[in-house]
Amino acid sequence: MRVEEIAEKALRIVKPNKLEEKRFGRIVDEALKAARELAENAPGVVDVTLEGSAAKNTWVRGRAEADIFIHFDPETSREELEKRIVELGTELIEELGGEPMLMYADHPYVEGIIDGVTIDVVACYRVEPRKWIGATDRTPYHTRYVIEKLGPGQVDEVRLLKGFMIGCGVYGAEIKVRGFSGYLTELLTIRYGSFLDTIRAAASWKPPIVIDLEGYYESVEDVLELFRDSPLIVIDPVDRSRNVAAAVSHRRLSEFILASKLFLKRPSLRFFRRVPGRPRASNILKLAKNRNILYVYFRLRERKPRDVIWGELKRSEEGIAKALERLRFKVYRREAWTDEDKRCLLVFELDKLNLPSYMLHQGPPIHLRNAEDFLEKWIGRGIGPWVDDGRFYVLRKIGETSAIKLLAKEIHGGRVSISRDLASYFGKALIDSDLRRLFKRAGRDVKLLEFLQEFLKAKPPFL
């Protein structure tokens, strides 16, 4: 099938149908109305608006979300604003019949699910562009920009791009994914015109990529100088000092490029469908056979905001990987997971689970003065020392060779850079390589099994 045909078919996957659209519209209107009534007399509140994909009509099927923004006067203090948004958000969600959850990005907001629609109640300051006080202050301007620039036919192009990215596992700017935000997909569509033209452009990307829609900068070099280390730089039309793609990791960008190439070569609807294929524990044990998997599992005493726990886990994952490398294990791959409730898991694939009993240790050249210190230190303590190429060598006996025990010791000794807020959990975590013991402790529900299956298959979903 030609790409155009596939894109047409894919639209049925990503685009809400009339009924869904109608229901969504009703719920959002209701929420917005209730929010405005609630906020009417609230001190500091100057406006209530609908933002995000709901406002731009770019939301995709299965991801019905509406961001209700409460705008505050810039005179309002941050404490005041945070206090008010929590109160207002909670009240609103409750009034709509939902269960309010307090969330954090770099600011608190309240989330609730009403008839299958996720409603986020978010605060921002009403300020002029580039006089931002908080991170959310730009959002209303983003909405306005996209509505202005996106032609009527292009909303479906955005939906296709989002659906493609969801299917390929690169959608979402949150720490868990480090992929493409909704706003970013909209800007890409504005830049390239359509879903297919975006994909065609991406297929030949060689990072770093620079997109400066409003032509704020004289040259690509200027941009690269300013946003070093970013593989994808999309200048925010609303704020020239901001990279809209700052959250996109090199890995997710590469996966998107690769998926674009492959899709153009062999167009298929499977790029839009993420089918994990019924994970079973027995299959996962089979996948893990003969491989060196080390995991760290623990349960939180109480749930943490999504972005907080993901951030802490990712940082800890990196710290543990560094510790393992320091202990002379090679970390092939690693991943963090949480059910976003209480269960947390870090998984590492290593070159081995045990060090050799003896390790080669190079000493100084024998003509150096410290050669004798080396001799005195090592004689009788290892195998050797012997002389080769004018240097001393010994085989050092490794007392503890198990990766599991060595890592546990490092963690207990406080020598691993793990998120401080999780330190007490890591101290009592299950550190092991046997996945059966993990299942015993953590259960074998679908989400965990899905994560493990993806980790062990070690392929992006579109491959």
CB of 385 to a copy of itself, least distance (A): 7
**Of 12, 278, 333, 412, which lies in the binding site for a copy of itself, with binding defined by CB under 8 A?**
333
Which residues ranging from 369 to 408 are in contact with a copy of itself (CB under 8 A)? 371-372, 375, 379, 383-391, 393, 395
* By CB under 8 A, residue 460 contacts a copy of itself: yes
**Of 77, 219, 357, 417, which lies in the binding site for a copy of itself, with binding defined by CB under 8 A?**
357
CB of 364 to a copy of itself, least distance (A): 12
DSSP state, residue 402: B
Asked if residues 434 and 143 have their Cβ atoms less than 8 Å apart, the reply is: no
Query: Residue ranges of the alpha helices (H) in 40-169?
Result: 52-56, 78-95, 139-149, 154-168
How would DSSP label each residue in 408-429? Answer: HHHHHTT-S---GGGHHHHHT-
Which residues ranging from 213 to 272 are in contact with a copy of itself (CB under 8 A)? 231, 250-251, 254-255, 257-258, 261-262, 265
**CB nearer a copy of itself, residue 258 or residue 327:** 258
Exposed, middle or buried: residue 235 (CB in 10 Å: 0-12, 13-18, 19+)? buried
* By CB under 8 A, residue 167 contacts a copy of itself: no
**CB nearer a copy of itself, residue 100 or residue 384:** 384
d(Cα 78, Cα 81) in Å, to the nearest integer?
Answer: 5
Query: Residue ranges of the alpha helices (H) in 269-401?
Result: 281-288, 306-326, 371-378
Strands 117-125 and 65-72: parallel
Q: Mask 425-444, x = binds a copy of itself (CB under 8 A)? A: --------------------
CB of 117 to a copy of itself, least distance (A): 34
Q: Choose one: 100-108, 136-144, 192-200, 285-293; the region binding a copy of itself (CB under 8 A).
A: 285-293
**CB nearer a copy of itself, residue 330 or residue 440:** 330
State the CB neighbour count (10 A cutoff) for residue 31. 24
**CB nearer a copy of itself, residue 1 or residue 463:** 463
The backbone torsions φ and ψ at residue 235, rounded to the nearest 5 degrees and listed phi first, read: -70, 130
The number of helix segments (H) and strand segments (E) in the chain equals 17, 15
- Residues in the interface with a copy of itself (CB under 8 A) total 51
First to last CA, the chain: 19
Interior CA angle at 460 toward 179 and 157, to 5°?
55
Binding region for a copy of itself (CB under 8 A): 204-207, 231, 250-251, 254-255, 257-258, 261-262, 265, 290-292, 330, 332-333, 349, 351-352, 356-360, 366-367, 371-372, 375, 379, 383-391, 393, 395, 456-460, 463
